[in-house]
Structure 1
Amino acid sequence: MSTSTTTPCFHSLSPPNSRVRVLKNPNPRLIQFSFNPTLPLLTAKPYTSPTNKWRFLCLRDEESSSAIPDSEFVEDKLSEELVKPGFNQINGVKKDWISRLRKVTDALFGAEPWTVPWTAKTIVQVMLLWIASFWLVGSWVVPFLAHTAGFRKESLTYRGQALYSLLTDVAEGLAGIALLHRCLTRFHPLPSDWFKFTLEGKWQFDVGLGCLMFPLVNRLSQVNLNLWPILPSTPVTVSSVEQSIVARDPVAMALYAVVVSVCAPIWEEIVFRGFLLPSLTKYMPVWCSILVSSVAFALAHFNMQRMLPLIFLGVVMGAVFARSRNLLPSMLLHSLWNAFVFLDLMK
């Protein structure tokens, strides 16, 4: 017969013919049983319950309890605590870790949703109008104005193409921000945590941690290419940015650096992190809003070969924004990522 400290303290047994008695042990850390060869198992003191069943109780013998000094009583209680099963302690540790993990998750993704004064209709309206304005300005308005002024993009020099890209990006960004402002005018004044931009707060560590994710984003790019390879029939094109880098034109490279590291992060973060992510928290948890806005951010780049890295990057920037409720950290992280890619192209 063996005993285990991991089993419960109370055991139900069918009525035995033996009698069990728990004897006081001089060593408080051990419990001994007195064996009687004339009895089937152990000499015992029976305990009769109302249901006429036997129970083995982890209690001291009442006959000898009155003679035990207070110090020995404390030692006996300690010995009983030592032999108690650790099941409750293990459960307590698990619950403690789960509670800590939940606190970290809530702190990472922002436990409290934003106060959203508009409905899903406004969210869809703003995003559709933004996409339409982006396409209209970039594909029609700017080319028409350039053609009217006597310029053709194909005939421009590297510096001319870089300036053209800068003006197009600025026009698209201003149109999108103006449209967003126009759609939300009727909801003014907005709550204080909307479109917040400040140097205050402890967000520097989050931005640094996000920068450590850049190699993983690059790795996801390769995984994405393996899952969604470029078709052989797809023509290989070289962007004007890559052409200017190959030509080593410093002015053109500086203009492109402004486009990718300053302009694009500002208006993209205002739309996707400043507006879309908080708006979605009216209908879903914050973590889900981060994921959905990240998918929308990736789709807006119209490049299936970069979906996975862009989604992951959107999640990182969304988490930084949700923790700080500040657009500056996510803009800075976005700018650093674009600069990282731009410098990688220059190698």
Structure 2
Amino acid sequence: MSPSSHRQAPVPSWKVLLGALSLLVAALIWMSGLVNSLSRPSVAPSLNLQQQEVQLLAEPALPDALASVLLGGEDPRTTLLGSLEPIPAADRSWRQAQLLMLLKGELTSESTIAVAGDPLLEQLLCEARGGVRDDCINLAVARGAALRLAVSATLPLVTTVMGTALLLVQGWRIWRGRRESWPDLMGPNLTLLDMALLVAGGFVVISAVGVPLLVVPLVTRLTAALDSPRREAVGVVINYSAMALPSLLILRRQLASLPEETVPYGGWLQWRWQPLPGACLTALVGWFKVTPIVVFTGWLLVRLFGDPGGSNPLLEMVLESRDPLALSLLALTAVVLAPLFEEVIFRGTLLPVLARRTGRGTGVVLSGLLFGMAHISIGELAPLTVLGIGLALVRCASGRLFPCVLMHSLWNAVTFVNLLLL
């Protein structure tokens, strides 16, 4: 059977109806999720507070020239106090209340403060009890905080500068007519109806309905004996795996139905693991190029509309967790599981099908938009759409899926490390 005859085979009416219903329900779920994400808190305030705390710890170890750059010429105590005071008392955590009391000098003999293992509270409590500031400073902690602050500040800057330079070089080459030709975009010989069933039916509807009904109660029972944050981290791994399973099973069934003689060299998904160095270089260059555009998109969004909120809850979990096992499980989800699954669906399957039906340019944009919407966060929709378009362009330019997985993993890993530094 030829590919054309496979595409022209009569489609059962029940399949068309199921696809249309899946699209309708998925659209409702996504729209509702995007609207509801506006009520979710943004991670930006927590991130700013963490950064200000690191600045306060790092200040004694920073040379004057570096301090003026990393601290912005402001007193970190005043900055942290100014960020804590506007938080309503009912919304302050216990630790934030302790920090505020110490920064304002309101410590009394009746005050109860637990500072064990918290270097910032230990330093401020020592000073509040009349200790000499130099004697209250832990230089080892200050040097570690200074290093973390320097890395977290310079890494995005270096990445943006290098990415911008690479984009300018590529723009120059295109202007001079030296753009390299792209290989044919190979992928599964599936239809748009198949994609509706895969993405809308499996990825959205079954996962959004089935996981809460069947998996969440089971996970709750399995993790009941664990303490927080390990309980939440184990739940994240299990829930994400359960959400990915329906789509992967549907895709496996769809690929199995295709004639074996039509499978292209390298397979339907075009993983093409080798050569590994070339895949790593392609992923690294793609990451550099997409970073300044994503950063600019996020900056422009905040400048025009303010912080819309709706951050991924996983970011808040990483910021608040201090448990190595919990952080390892969250890293496994963000750096390994999510890139593998999402690249198989969006760049391995959806992109080639859309490009074949609508044209390569339209397919790149549509697949990127659907990738952004799939994260159900109005605040991250535009930046993630740009990231999805960048990943799609890497897939088109390389003809391989594996560099997209590496690039996606690198993006998530750098984000994860930046959160850990703060």
The two structures have a TM-score, normalised by structure 1, of 0.62
- Matched to 1:218, the amino acid is V
**Counterpart of 1:121?**
193
Distance change in 2, residues 1:150/1:165 (3 Å): closer
Once the 2 structures are TM-superposed, how far is the Cα of residue 163 of structure 1 from its aligned partner? 0.8
The answer to whether the 8 Å contact 1:211/1:337 transfers is yes
Alignment CA distance shift 1:127-1:239 (3 Å): closer
**Secondary structure in 2 matching 1:187:** coil
In structure 2, the residue matched to 1:278 is: 352
- Kindly indicate whether residue 366 of structure 2 is the aligned counterpart of residue 292 of structure 1: yes
Of residues 256, 261, 273 in structure 2, which corresponds to 1:199? 273
Among candidates 403, 406, 411, match of residue 337 of structure 1: 411
| SS of aligned partner of 1:297 | helix
Structure 1 distance, partners of 2:187, 2:317, is 46
Do the aligned partners of residues 330 and 116 (structure 1) sit closer, same or farther apart at CA in structure 2, a change above 3 Å counting? closer
1:132 aligns with 2:205: yes
Larger mean CA deviation between 132-141 and 288-297 belongs to: 132-141
SS at match of 2:358: coil
Contact 2:224 2:231 in 1 (8 A): no
Which residue number in structure 2 is paired with residue 112 of structure 1? Answer: 184
Cα separation, 1, equivalents of 2:361 and 2:402: 20
C-alpha contact 2:354 2:363 (8 A) present in aligned 1: yes
Task: Find the aligned partners of 1:345 and 1:176 in 2 and give their Cα distance.
Answer: 30
Query: What is the rounded CA distance, in whole Å, between the counterparts of 1:115 and 1:253 in structure 2?
Result: 35
Contact 1:290 1:318 in 2 (8 A): yes
Q: Does 1:245 align with 2:319?
A: yes
- Structure 1 residue runs of 5 or longer lacking an equivalent are 1-96
Q: How does 1:156-171 map to 2 (within 5 A)?
A: 157-171=228-242
The separation in 2 between residues aligned to 1:238 and 1:307, in whole angstroms, is: 11
Equivalent of 1:257 in 307, 331, 341: 331
Distance in 1 (alpha carbons) for counterparts of 2:382 and 2:311:
22
Q: Matched residues in 2 for 1:305 and 1:298: separation?
A: 10
Q: Distance in 2 between matches of 1:214 and 1:277?
A: 21
Tell me, yes or no, if structure 1 residue 185 matches structure 2 residue 261. Answer: no
Report the count of equivalent residues. 242
CA deviations on 1:132-182 (whole Å, 9 max, x unpaired) are 122134322211223455849xx9510111011011112222222112112
Alpha carbons of 1:246 and 1:215: their partners in 2 closer, same or farther (altered >3 Å)?
farther
Instruction: Indicate conservation of the 8 Å contact 1:162/1:241, yes or no.
Output: no
1:199: Cα distance to partner? 2.6
- Structure showing greater relative contact order (alpha-carbon pairs closer than 8 Å, 6 or more residues apart): 2
Residue 206 of structure 1 deviates from its aligned partner by: 2.4
Tell me the C-alpha RMSD between the 2 structures: 2.8
Offset of 1:100 from its aligned partner? Answer: 5.7
Partner secondary structure for residue 271 of structure 2: coil
Which one has the largest radius of gyration?
A: 1
Q: 2-side partners of 1:203 and 1:146: how far apart?
A: 37
Answer whether contact 1:217 1:312 (CA < 8 A) is retained. Answer: yes
Question: Which residue does the alignment assign to 1:3?
Answer: none
Unaligned runs of 5+ in 2: 1-172
Contact 1:229–1:305 (Cα < 8 Å) also in 2? no
Q: Distance in 1 between matches of 2:175 and 2:305?
A: 40
Closer, same or farther: CA 99–114 of 1 in aligned 2, 3 Å: farther
User: Contact 1:261–1:338 (CA<8 Å) still a contact in 2?
Assistant: yes
Q: Is the contact between residue 318 and residue 327 of structure 2 (CA under 8 Å) also seen in structure 1?
A: yes
Q: Residue 228 of structure 1: CA displacement? A: 4.1
The answer to whether the 8 A contact 2:183-2:399 is kept is no
Residue 240 of structure 1 and its aligned partner are, at CA, apart by 5.5
Determine the structure 2 residue equivalent to 1:303.
377
Residue type of the partner of 1:328? F
Identify if the C-alpha distance between structure 1 residues 169 and 263 changes in structure 2 by more than 3 Å, giving closer, same or farther: same
How far has the Cα of 1:197 moved from its partner? Answer: 1.9
Please report how far the alpha carbon of residue 239 of structure 1 lies from its aligned counterpart in structure 2 after TM superposition.
Answer: 3.3
Structure in which a larger fraction of residues adopt helix: 2
Q: 1:173 aligns with which of 244, 247, 267?
A: 244
Q: Is the 8 A contact 1:162 1:255 kept in 2?
A: yes
How far apart are the structure 2 equivalents of 1:327 and 1:111?
13
SS at match of 1:281: helix
Residue pair 1:245, 1:253 contacting (<8 A) in 2 also: no
Normalising by structure 2, we get a TM-score of 0.52
| C-alpha distance 191-174 of structure 1, shift in aligned 2 (>3 A) | same
Q: Distance in 1 between matches of 2:363 and 2:311?
A: 35
Query: Do residues 225 (structure 1) and 302 (structure 2) align?
Result: yes
**Change in CA separation of 1:98 and 1:172 when aligned onto 2, cut-off 3 Å:** closer
Letter in 1 for 2:201: L
Residue 280 of structure 2 is aligned to residue 208 of structure 1: no
Residue 268 in 1 paired to residue 342 in 2? yes
> Using a 3 Å threshold, how does the CA distance of structure 1 residues 305 and 227 change in structure 2: closer, same or farther?
farther
Question: Identity across aligned pairs (percent)?
Answer: 24
CA contact (8 A) 2:223 2:235 kept: no
